[in-house]
C-alpha cells in the first residue's frame, strides 16, 4: 500500500504550501484593492475634505514605520537565507529582529492612533479618517497575523530539535513581504498625495 507514488514531487516544481501562498496573496491583493478602490471613489467626491484631513496625519511617524517595515523585510530575507545555509544561530537572530521590527511598527502605530484620539479624531470623524483607520487597521492586523507564526518558529528554534523547515519560513517570508508592500502603497496614498494645509 505505502509503495504507491501518488504523492509525487509537485508538478510545477513549487512546493504546495508556497504555491498556495502565492495564490492566497493574489486574493489578499483583491482584499486591499476593495479598500483602495472605495478610497479612490470617495476621495474624488470629497476631495477638499480628504486633502484637509490628510494634512493632520503624522508623516514623520509614517516614514519611520516605512523604514522599520522595509528593514524587517531585509531581516526576514536574511533569516531565510541563513536557515537554508544551515546557520541556525543567525537564522534565529534575524527572525528575532524581524519580530522586533513588527513590534516596533505596532508601537509606532499605537502612538499614532492614540495621538489621533487625543486630538478627538476617530473613525467616525469623517470619511477620510474612516478609511485611514480601517486600512491601516487591517494592515496592522496582517502584521500581527504574520508575527504569530514567526513567534512560534522563533520559540521552536530554541528546542532541541530546532526549527528546520526553510520552505515554511520562505512561505511566511512571501507573506511578510506582501504586508510590507501593502504599506508601501498605503503610505503615499494616505499620507503623501494630498497638499498639506
Partner 1 sequence: MQTAVANANEIHGHDTHHGADHAHHELSFIRKYIFSTDHKVIAKQFMAVSLFFLFVGGLFALMIRWQIAYPGSAIPLIGNILPNSWVSDGAVTANFYTQLLTLHGTVMIFYVIIPLAVGMFGNFCIPLMIGTDDMALPRLNMFSFWLVPPAGLIMLSGFFYDSGTAAAGWTGYPPLGPTSGPGQTTWLVSLFMIGFSSIMGGTNYMATVLNKRAKGLQLLQMPLTVWALFITAILITLGTPVLAAAIAMQICDQYLHTGFFMPDNLLVTAPDNTYVTNAFIAQGNQLLEHKQLLGGGGQPILWQHMFWFYSHPAVYIMILPGMGIVSDVLSTFARKPIYGYKAMIFAIMAIAFLGFIVWGHHMFQSGMNPLLGTTFMLSTILIAVPSAIKVFNWLGTIWKGNIRFTAANMNALAFIATFIIGGLSGVFMASAPVDIYIHDTYFIVAHIHYVLFGGALFAIFAGIYYWFPKMYGKMLNENLGRKHFYWSFVFFNLTFYPMHILGVGGHMRRIYNPYIYEFLQPLQPMNQFVTFAAIILGFSQLILVVNILWSLKYGKAAPRNPWQSNSIEWSAPAHPGHGNFDTDIVVYRGPYEYSVPGRESDFYPQTEPPSENEVPVHSGH
Nearest to 132 by CA among 54, 47, 38: 54
Cα→Cα distances 175→27, 52, 98, Å: 12, 34, 13
Among 81, 134, 174, 181, indicate the residue that binds partner 1 (CB under 8 A). 134
> Three cell numbers at 127?
470619511
165 near partner 1 (CB under 8 A): yes
Among 70, 138, 151, 181, indicate the residue that binds partner 1 (CB under 8 A). 138
Size of the site for partner 1 (CB under 8 A): 50
Minimum gap (Å) between residue 175 Cβ and partner 1: 13
Q: Are 170 and 20 in contact (CB under 8 A)?
A: no
34 near partner 1 (CB under 8 A): yes
Quick one: 19 or 106, whose CB is closer to partner 1? 19
159 near partner 1 (CB under 8 A): no
The rounded distance, in Å, linking the Cα atoms of 72 and 74 is: 5
35 near partner 1 (CB under 8 A): yes
Among 70, 167, 174, 181, indicate the residue that binds partner 1 (CB under 8 A). 167
Minimum gap (Å) between residue 168 Cβ and partner 1: 8
Pairs from 73-79 (Cβ < 8 Å, separation ≥ 24): 73/176, 73/177, 73/180, 75/101, 76/172, 76/173, 76/176, 76/177, 77/173, 77/177, 79/169, 79/173
The rounded distance, in Å, linking the Cα atoms of 18 and 177 is: 14
DSSP designation for 192: I
Burial (CB count <10 Å: 0-12, 13-18, 19+), residue 101: buried
46 near partner 1 (CB under 8 A): yes
Minimum gap (Å) between residue 2 Cβ and partner 1: 5
Binding mask 1-20 for partner 1 (x = CB under 8 A): xxxxxxxxxxxx-xxxx-xx
Among 125, 151, 174, 181, indicate the residue that binds partner 1 (CB under 8 A). 125
The site for partner 1 (CB under 8 A) is made up of: 1-12, 14-17, 19-20, 23-24, 26-28, 30-35, 37-38, 41-42, 45-46, 49, 122-127, 130-131, 133-134, 138, 165, 167-168
Amino acid at each position: 500500500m505505502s509503495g504507491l507514488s501518488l504523492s509525487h514531487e509537485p508538478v510545477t516544481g513549487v512546493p504546495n504550501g508556497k504555491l498556495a501562498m502565492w495564490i492566497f496573496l493574489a486574493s489578499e491583493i483583491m482584499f486591499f484593492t476593495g479598500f483602495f478602490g472605495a478610497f479612490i471613489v470617495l476621495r474624488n467626491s470629497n476631495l477638499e475634505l480628504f486633502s484637509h484631513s490628510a494634512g493632520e496625519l503624522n508623516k514623520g511617524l509614517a516614514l519611520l514605520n516605512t523604514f522599520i517595515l522595509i528593514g524587517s523585510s531585509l531581516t526576514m530575507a536574511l533569516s531565510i537565507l541563513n536557515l537554508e545555509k544551515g546557520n541556525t544561530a543567525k537564522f534565529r537572530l534575524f527572525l528575532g529582529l524581524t519580530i522586533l521590527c513588527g513590534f516596533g511598527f505596532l508601537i509606532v502605530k499605537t502612538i499614532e492612533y492614540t495621538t489621533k484620539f487625543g486630538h478627538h479624531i476617530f473613525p467616525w470623524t469623517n470619511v477620510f479618517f474612516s478609511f485611514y483607520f480601517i486600512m491601516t487597521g487591517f494592515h496592522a492586523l496582517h502584521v500581527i497575523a504574520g508575527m504569530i507564526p514567526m513567534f512560534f518558529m522563533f520559540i521552536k528554534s530554541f528546542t532541541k530539535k530546532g526549527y528546520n523547515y526553510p520552505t515554511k519560513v520562505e512561505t511566511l517570508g512571501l507573506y511578510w513581504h506582501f504586508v510590507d508592500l501593502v504599506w508601501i502603497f498605503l503610505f503615499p496614498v494616505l499620507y503623501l498625495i494630498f497638499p498639506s494645509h
